């Protein structure tokens, strides 16, 4: 899990210090790809908090979700329908759900830890 966090931080630093411009034609593909990647990262963090993180599930979800989201955006462009919005809504909802579950898991862990300290 440490490797994933380090890779995320390195990616953020690269993004901040190396100027990369994305053509406007590809902006919807990049947006849904980033949301799919963030969804997978938040899902991995949630799984790690629950103790059932598996790297193969993370990698397959990361790559699969990103490709499906970008394919959905591409198909929408070909049909003239903004299908990328469906991916944005779906991944946005999942990101907030994962964040909520992570928050609950952390708060419950801290609450049970503080009760154990008081009992000793």
**Over 90: is that where the pLDDT of 28 sits?**
no
Give me the sign of the Cα torsion angle 52, 56, 62, 68: negative
pLDDT tens digits, residue range 35-77? 998 999 899 989 988 888 899 999 999 999 899 888 988 999 9
- The two tokens of residue 110 are 């801290």
pLDDT at residue number 78: 93
pTM of the model: 0.74
């Amino acid at each position: 899990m440490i490797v994933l966090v380090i890779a995320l931080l390195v990616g953020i630093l690269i993004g901040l210090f190396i100027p990369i411009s994305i053509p406007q034609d590809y902006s919807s593909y990049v947006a849904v790809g980033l949301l799919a990647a963030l969804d997978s990262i938040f899902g991995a963090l949630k799984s790690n908090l629950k103790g059932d993180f598996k790297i193969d599930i993370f990698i397959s979800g990361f790559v699969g979700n990103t490709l499906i989201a970008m394919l959905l955006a591409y198909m929408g462009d070909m049909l003239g329908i903004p299908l990328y919005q469906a991916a944005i809504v779906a991944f946005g909802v999942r990101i907030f759900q994962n964040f909520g579950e992570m928050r609950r898991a952390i708060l419950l862990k801290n609450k049970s830890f503080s009760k154990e300290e008081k009992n000793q």
